[in-house]
């Protein structure tokens, strides 16, 4: 049985929720392997909308095992709230269908506060984080002072961990001019929340190995997008984790051999939230139209997304660094009615032509897109479920994108509804 990794090939918000939900019907296990509750997925099933931040998309499907891997950072309070909301909407969640890695790092209120303090201190140079403590939590993980889920089982060990954590954080807070944190208060918060999340604790790497051995299909669900990867994205305007497909194995405790197919979710145009370079951004009527038609507001934050034309340079680069086999092209219907559609094929930077985006922040800011103009289409694509229902110019647009990004379209999405999907190649068939 094939195992599939789903990642975003742009700056996130590509429509991974719908595609993962569509694929989860074919999977037995769905795994989140990085990020935190800064990333959101919106699922529309039978006219009912579910908004997820931490829980894998498979949680809304019966008889599917959902797993939060060790590569995720978990806010216990946010997780508890999300579980309660879904339960109130009729979703069954128990220790039988949800498991969390015992070695997952936790996000505490002190991480959120530090996140906000630092963004305020940066002023106009701010990164554009969601302020949910993701970055500081990952820093503590790398700094070997993180509180992990398994620590909540041992009060003595937990107290030692908190003391070590506060040695670092109180020093930082002093530098910002804020009062120090009290160990007693933090311990109380953790001991109080522990019963709500400890029952889901599992040795996830072993669970997944057992599932693989018995032939289960595993779907690895990424958050955000490759262009936000801490190493390969538009640094420093990136997230705090690795978002490339390789993280699926590290963030779940599995080896590279477990991955059979990598699917890159790709929007038919480009969007970005927060600060950072965006060569094809349209800060004009076109960008406004794309935003209004595509309802481009963040699932988690509600922030308005910046919008622009499709950038084949960046998507091709993402495909190379993440080993993407094929893409799922989403929101094609948003382009309905445009007389002309532009696609970026390369850049000029200081008069030199580039077929990739350099790692230098200075050069990225100077990138000027070189466009190819394609004819638009008047016939609506929304709701199309076969190639025959698409206008000829829309098909030409898709084919040209395939040529430019050097990867085939495996799925084509024409609305938020999961049934409005054209299957070209089933990733699970590999």
Give yes or no for a contact between 102 and 202, defined as CB atoms under 8 angstroms apart: yes
Residue 281 is given by DSSP the state B
Whether 228 contacts 36, CB under 8 Å: no
The Cβ of residue 114 has, within 10 Å, a number of other Cβ atoms equal to 23
Q: What phi and psi values does residue 144 have, to the nearest 5 degrees?
A: 65, 35
| Cβ neighbours around 145 below 10 Å, total | 17
Residue 311 annotated among the catalytic residues of the structure: no
The residue annotated as part of the active site, out of 37, 41, 169, 232, is 41
Q: Could you give the CA distance from residue 358 to residue 394 in angstroms, rounded to a whole number?
A: 31
Q: Which residues are paired to 272 by β-bridges?
A: 306
Based on its alpha-carbon atoms, the radius of gyration of the chain, rounded to whole angstroms, reads 22
Q: Are 212 and 257 in contact (CB under 8 A)?
A: no
Q: Are strands 98-101 and 65-68 parallel, antiparallel or unpaired?
A: parallel
**Residue 126, both tokens:** 């701010």
Q: Is 41 among the residues known to form the active site?
A: yes
The bridge status of strand 4-8 relative to strand 201-202 is unpaired
Q: Number of C-alpha atoms within 13 angstroms, CB side, residue 10?
A: 32
Phi-psi region of 285 (alpha: psi -120 to 50; beta: other; left: phi over 0): alpha
- Residue 425 phi/psi, 5° resolution? -145, 125
Q: Which residues are catalytic?
A: 13, 41
């Amino acid at each position: 049985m094939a195992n599939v990794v789903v990642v975003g090939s742009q700056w996130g918000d590509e429509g991974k929720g719908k595609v993962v939900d569509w694929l989860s019907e074919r999977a037995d296990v769905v795994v989140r392997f990085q990020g935190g509750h800064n990333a959101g997925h919106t699922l529309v099933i039978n006219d009912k909308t579910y908004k997820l931040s931490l829980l894998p998309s498979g949680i809304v499907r019966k008889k599917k095992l959902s797993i939060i891997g060790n590569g995720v950072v978990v806010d216990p309070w946010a997780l508890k709230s999300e579980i309660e909301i879904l339960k109130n909407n009729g979703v069954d969640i128990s220790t039988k269908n949800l498991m969390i890695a015992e070695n997952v790092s936790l996000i505490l209120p002190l991480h959120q506060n530090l996140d906000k303090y630092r963004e305020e201190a940066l002023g106009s140079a701010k990164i554009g984080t969601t302020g949910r403590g993701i970055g500081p939590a990952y820093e503590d993980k790398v700094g070997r002072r993180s509180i992990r889920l398994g620590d909540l089982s041992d009060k003595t060990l937990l107290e030692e961990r908190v003391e070590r954590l506060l040695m670092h954080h109180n020093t930082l807070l002093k530098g910002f001019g804020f009062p120090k944190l009290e160990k007693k208060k933090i311990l109380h918060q953790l001991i109080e929340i522990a019963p709500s999340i400890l029952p889901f604790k599992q040795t996830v790497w072993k669970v997944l190995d057992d599932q693989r051995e018995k032939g289960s299909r595993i779907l690895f669900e990424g958050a955000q997008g490759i262009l936000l990867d801490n190493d390969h994205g538009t640094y420093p305007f990136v997230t705090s984790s690795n978002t490339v497909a390789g993280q699926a194995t590290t963030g779940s405790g599995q080896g590279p051999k477990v991955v059979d197919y990598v699917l890159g979710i790709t929007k038919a145009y480009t969007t970005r939230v927060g600060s950072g370079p965006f060569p094809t951004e349209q800060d004009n009527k076109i960008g406004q139209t794309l935003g209004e038609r595509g309802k481009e507001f963040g699932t988690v934050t509600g922030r308005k997304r910046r919008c622009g034309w499709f950038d084949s340079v960046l998507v091709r680069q993402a495909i190379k660094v993440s080993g993407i086999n094929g893409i799922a092209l989403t929101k094609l219907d948003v382009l309905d009615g445009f007389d002309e559609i532009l696609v970026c094929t390369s850049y000029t930077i200081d008069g030199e032509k580039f077929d990739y985006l350099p790692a230098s922040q200075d050069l990225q800011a100077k990138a000027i897109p070189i466009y190819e103009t394609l004819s638009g289409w008047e016939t609506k694509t929304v709701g199309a479920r076969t190639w025959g229902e698409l206008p000829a110019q829309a098909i030409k647009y898709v084919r040209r994108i395939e040529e430019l990004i050097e990867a085939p379209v495996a799925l084509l999405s024409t609305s938020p509804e999961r049934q409005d999907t054209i299957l070209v190649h089933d990733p699970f068939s590999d």
